[in-house]
Amino acid sequence: MTPMNRQQLIDAAKAAVTQVDPAGAEALLAAGAVALDVREAEEVAAGRLAEAITIPRGFLELRIETLASDRDRPVIVYCASGTRSLLAAATLRQMGYVDVRSLAGGFDGWKASGRPWIVPPQLTDDQKARYRRHLLLPSVGEQGQLRLLEARVLLIGAGGLGSPVALYLAAAGVGSLGVVDPDVVDRSNLQRQILHRDADTDVAKVDSAGRAIRDLNPDVEVISFREAFTAETADRILDAGWDVVVDGSDNFSTRYLVNDACVQRGLPNVHGSIYQFEGQVGVFSASPSDACYRCLYPRPPPPELAPNCAEAGVLGVLPGVIGTLQALETLKLLLELGEPLAGRLSQFDALSGRWRTLNVRKDPTCPACGDQSANHDLAPAADACRA
């Protein structure tokens, strides 16, 4: 086969790819097509379509399947003037994308037609250095990191589970972390609650947590609630606006309260719990079709079968394992990556090193999320184990 020169490649792409004008592209995007910007990063920084996926032309084949895996969904490809987008669209057709079109006139033509565009937020040089390993992941990249920096996550508890959650979410660059905990640091906490130092003994946990988070990453805003999460405080705390709630509480009453409050607001609830050498993690109420915590445990066990953490003890490293997985599930939700543990519960036996995963089905009779849940009130939380 005789090699083609640049103009021949362009002519072949024009013959293979349908071009669409700005008006037609706008209509297709409104109907669900995805916009794909194949310009270089410095061009995108000056402006882009609001919902566009950005992949420089040289990385298209490597990244497109991660960011736009549905080959049947229409794709509108654009560059600055319309040439690179033709070549990119031809490549996508060869890769099996069914309906690919090139924006005639490119981004310059889009702007000239008076259609809307944005100047996207940018990472600072320090942030690019800090989050470089995230930026190298095609499924995260700069857009994903900016999403994390804009995210707001509420942590219920700054103890054994909340400690690894807070540290890993802060390290990942989650922009705002709310921390709810009424207690002060006790020396017995230090065996597992790695947010706190020996010098923090008798210091409020929210203050100690705030210090640790800001020391790790000054990008992160810490919103402290030195109070218990109760039926009386839940509305005010949740009204601060959160994307995800992470439940690191250590008692059943608070878990039910967190669950019910999240169900009422449609907030994902990333649950974790531990007992001696066992732990579990799951995601509840990530969507209306998902089970909630009450679907799994309709009623709490009697007190004699559920000793609190001070009575039962726990291997110090176990909350690190479970809390780290809670942080992972939170990041997956914020970045819309992979398959969160919605509708599933992963259980870990530290002594055997074995995992098992249970499927959790939505209960239509559940008082919190079932068919008759409209009149369900938040139950008051009983005294929590705060050891």
- Taking each helix axis from N to C end, the angle separating 83-94 and 60-67, rounded to the nearest 10 degrees, works out to 70
CB 350 within 8 A of CB 321: yes
Give the Cα separation of 363 and 366 in Å (integer): 5
Sheet holding 53-54, edge to edge: 18-20, 100-103, 75-78, 34-37, 53-54
Residue 206 Ramachandran class (φ > 0 left, ψ -120 to 50 alpha, else beta): alpha
Residues 316, 191 contacting (CB under 8 angstroms): yes
**371 phi, psi to nearest 5 deg:** -65, -25
Burial 247-256 (b: 16+ CB within 10 A, else e): bbbbbbbbbb
DSSP state of 204: B
Which one-letter amino acid corresponds to residue 15? A
pLDDT of residue 33: 96
Nearest Cα residue to 178 out of 206, 147, 155, 205: 155
CATH of domain 6-112: 3.40.250.10
Two tokens, residue 289: 């079709």
CA within 13 Å, CB half, 317:
5
Q: What is the pLDDT of residues 306-356, one digit of tens each?
A: 665 566 789 999 999 999 999 999 999 999 999 999 999 999 999 999 999
pLDDT in tens, the chain (387 residues): 567 777 888 888 889 899 999 999 999 999 999 999 999 988 998 999 998 999 999 999 988 988 888 999 999 999 999 999 999 999 999 999 999 999 999 999 999 999 999 998 889 999 999 999 999 998 899 889 999 999 999 999 999 999 999 999 999 999 999 999 999 999 999 999 999 999 999 999 999 999 999 999 999 999 999 999 999 999 999 998 999 999 999 888 899 999 999 999 999 999 999 999 999 999 998 788 899 999 999 888 776 666 655 667 899 999 999 999 999 999 999 999 999 999 999 999 999 999 999 999 999 999 889 887 665 666 544 433 332
Cα radius of gyration (the chain): 25
Looking at residue 382, its pLDDT comes to 44
In whole angstroms, give the CA distance from residue 78 to residue 119. 16
DSSP assignment of 303-360 equals: GGGS--HHHH-B-TTHHHHHHHHHHHHHHHHHHT-S---BTEEEEEETTTTEEEEEE-
Query: HEC profile for 17-48?
Result: CEEECHHHHHHHHHCCCEEEECCCHHHHHCCE
> Counting beta carbons within 10 angstroms of the beta carbon of residue 344, is it exposed (0 to 12), middle (13 to 18) or buried (19 or more)?
middle
What is the model's pLDDT at position 93?
Answer: 94
The pLDDT value recorded for residue 386 is 35
Whether residue 156 contacts residue 326, with contact meaning beta carbons closer than 8 Å, is answered with no
6-112 and 151-359 in the same fold: no
Domain segments of the chain: what residues? 6-112, 151-359
Q: For the sheet containing 244-247, what is the strand order?
A: 221-225, 176-180, 152-156, 244-247, 269-275, 278-284, 344-349, 354-359
Fold of the 151-359 domain: Rossmann fold (3.40.50)
**Alpha-carbon distance 77 to 374, whole Å?**
45
Per-residue pLDDT tens for 209-242?
999 999 999 999 999 999 999 999 999 999 989 9
